[in-house]
Structure formats: C-alpha cells, structure tokens
Amino acid sequence: MRVLSGIQPSGILHIGNYFGAIKQMVKYQESEELFAFIANYHALTSLKDAKALKENTLQTAITYLSMGIDPDKSIFWVQSDVKEVLELYWILSSYTPMGLLERAHSYKDKVAKGIHPYHGLFSYPVLMAADILLYDTDIVPVGKDQIQHVEMTRDIAIKFNNDHGEIFKLPKFQVDDSVAVVPGIDGAKMSKSYGNTIEIFLDEKALTKRVKKIVTDSTPLEEPKDYEKCNVFALAKLFLDKEGVEELKERYKKGGEGYGHFKMYLRDIMKEYFAPYREKREYYLNHIKEVEEILNEGAKKAKKVASKKMETVREAVGIYSSDKGYKNA
C-alpha cells in the first residue's frame, strides 16, 4: 500500500504539523510504502520571501529527519526536485472544471482570513492532485479540512480516466480522528497562515511566552473548569496517555487551579515529550551535507516513478516527445 504525504515549508514546523502529519508518517513507514515530500511549490501561495523559503525547506527536512523519518524506509524528497509534477499539474488543469475549484472550502476560508486570492491559491487542489496521482498513491493521510481536496483529486482523475482509460489510480483519504484538527492558541486550527502556532523546538523562554498566549475563558481560579471547551486541555491531551488525560480532567473538575497553572503544565509536558528529538536535530544541524544527500537520493527515487507515469500520461493526451517522434501517431 503506497501512502503519500507532504508538508509545506512556509514557516517553522509546529505541533499541529507533528500530530497532524509527521507522527503518522513515521508510523506508516514501518508498515507501508511511504512517499513523503516537502511541498515547497505549495508554500509559494503564502510565502514570497525567497531566502525564508530556502531556509524553511532545509529546516523542514531537518525536523522530519529528527522526528523519525527514515530515508531507508521511505522515499523523502523536495517537491521541486521532481519537475514532472508541474507538467502533470498543467495537464490536469485542462481536465478540471472551474466549478469544482470554486467549491473549495479551503480557498474560501483562507481568502476570508485575508490571504490574497492569487491563482496559485485557487488552483492549489490541482497541484495537490498532481502530487497524488503522479505516484499512483493509494492512501493520503489528511486532516478533516483536507478531505475535500482528496475528493477533488478523485474527481479530476475520474474525468481524465473517462477520456483516456484507467491511467490514474483513485486515492482514498485517511483521517486520524484523534488528531484530525490540532487547535492553535486561538482555538482555530493551528496553521502558519493564521499565526496561531506553537513551534516544536522553541527554547524554554519562547515556549513559555507562546503558551501563555493560549486563549481561555474568565473562570475564577477556585471554580471547576470545563475541560471540553478549553484550548489548553485540547493541546495537553495530545501529549498524554489515557491515564494522564483522566488525571488532568480531574484537576479541571476539582477547581483550585487557574488556567496559568494548566498552561505551565502544558509547557512542561511539551518539553519532556520533544526532548529526545532535540539531540538528533543538533546532529543534522551540524551535518547539512548529509541532509542534502538524503534529499537528493530521495528525489532520484521519486523521479524514477514520476518519469514512468508521465510517459503514459503524455502518450494518452498526445504530447510530442522528440526522442519518440511521431511513430505512434
């Protein structure tokens, strides 16, 4: 079973990226054929700083490797190193109805939050479809907000297949309901685009400052608190086992502690949880050449699959190749 997942290097990776994607990817590589890529073309929809994008791409790779992505167990590369994805993006654009894109919830939500409505943002689902279909993907792990994009990928693939035969495999989405949406400090989905994130490798001072900004209600210290509506609890439970979650619930129901106490508790369990990954991160920060070699080898493996698929697609739609001539015309 081939699983594909990508993440944008549009900013420093945060705990939403970890629980929403990286943790699942590390699990998948143990039992499935994992294709994992850094989606730097997608990042252009929100990041226009060239220096920042390059640096974020490298830092994203380092974080992935630090958190457990193993290049011996998966294919790990940078999206832009396999140019076939852009060719397929254009071809699929010719099979994508405008109405399909106009119904995209993600586009509407981002524009409503002030993100400029560039064409790249509007056609984002087509590039995502190219990412998925290029590698004959079976499963795409997503958050609930991305389900529609996978469904759109299927719609595009079906339309193409209806015209040219069964060329594209129809992927299925997979959602881990326990972490489908990781809340940000404002209670909305944690996203770099919304500026409500908590980064994975913040130092203690920065982490404390960020955690203190989590939005809570005004329940007095001595009164019981509703953990079901608390952003701090929603984040803390991600780091706890079942017993730990139940103990935290009891603290909320008992009263006598303010939200400040729970915020510092969240800070402490985050520090402890990510501590084992910090040493590995330091290693890669001091061995950048090794990171670049890993990405280069991953791109070669991904390109081998992509090139073969594109030969089939070009033949189906009639794209001329000088090395083949018109012999099949």
Task: Report, as residue numbers or ranges, the catalytic residues.
Answer: 110, 189, 192
Rounded Cα distance, 171 and 272, in Å = 37
Closest CA to 227 of 192, 196, 262, 200: 262
Q: Contact at 8 Å (CB) between 45 and 9?
A: no
Q: How many CA atoms lie within 13 A of 29 on its CB side?
A: 21
Radius of gyration of the chain (CA): 22
Cβ atoms of 40 and 187 within 8 Å: the answer is no
Cα separation, 44 vs 274, whole angstroms: 29
CB atoms within 10 A of CB 14: 22
Q: What do you get for the CA distance between the two ends of the chain, in Å?
A: 35
Residue type (1 letter), 170: L
Determine the Cα–Cα distance for residues 59 and 295; give it in Å rounded to an integer. 12
Q: Are 252 and 230 in contact (CB under 8 A)?
A: yes
| Number of Cβ atoms within 10 Å of the Cβ of 250 | 9
- 3-state secondary structure (DSSP) of residue 151: helix
43 in Cβ contact with 10 (< 8 Å): yes
Phi, psi of 22 (to 5 degrees): -60, -45
Please enumerate in sequence order all residues whose Cβ is within 8 A of that of 121, keeping only pairs 6 or more positions apart, or say none.
45, 46, 107, 110, 111, 115
Under a CB-based contact definition with an 8 Å cutoff, are residues 306 and 135 in contact?
Answer: yes
Residue 173: enclosing H or E segment and its boundaries?
strand 172-174
